[in-house]
Amino acid sequence: MSGTRSDHGSASVMAIGILAVAVIGTTAVGAVGLATTARVGLAGAADAAALAGADTLAGFASGDPCLIAAQAADLNAADLESCIVSGSDVEVVVGGVVLGVPVTARAKAGPPPEEPPP
């Protein structure tokens, strides 16, 4: 026997500690991945809401641009927090909750800018 009696079981304690660190690390990486995926989805919802509002403003659909933007946000599991119509542009802010934290995304849509003549 090379170790003393007080060394018995220390490998088990170390293995449990390593396993705990691995579980915590895996959980943290999973949470970051989930938050990133949800943030990208929220950005897509903002884009869809702004485009729907701009299409309505341009006459491609009937109704109020901000109401249509709210419906588009809702269809994408987001809440329309603000909608500003400025000229022929619609700017929206949508919100959601990711891992218990409120998150927002914004988007603006309208006709393409006019290019100067050549």
Domain assignment present for 97? yes
Residue 106's H or E segment, with its range, is: strand 101-109
Give the number of domains in the chain: 1
Domain assignment present for 55? yes
Q: What pLDDT was estimated at residue 101?
A: 80
Domain assignment present for 115? no
Backbone phi, psi, residue 91, to 5°: -115, 130
Q: What pLDDT was estimated at residue 71?
A: 96
C-beta separation of 84 from 107 below 8 A = no
Least confident piece of the model among 2-11, 13-22, 93-102: 2-11
b/e code 63-72 from CB counts within 10 Å (16+ = b): eebbebbbbb
Residue 54 clears pLDDT 90, i.e. is over it: yes
pLDDT averaged over the chain?
Answer: 87
Residue 108 clears pLDDT 80, i.e. is over it: yes
Domain assignment present for 118? no
Residue 82 clears pLDDT 90, i.e. is over it: yes
pLDDT level of residue 37 (50, 70, 90 thresholds): confident
Domain assignment present for 3? no
List the domain range (segments joined by +) for residue 19: 12-109
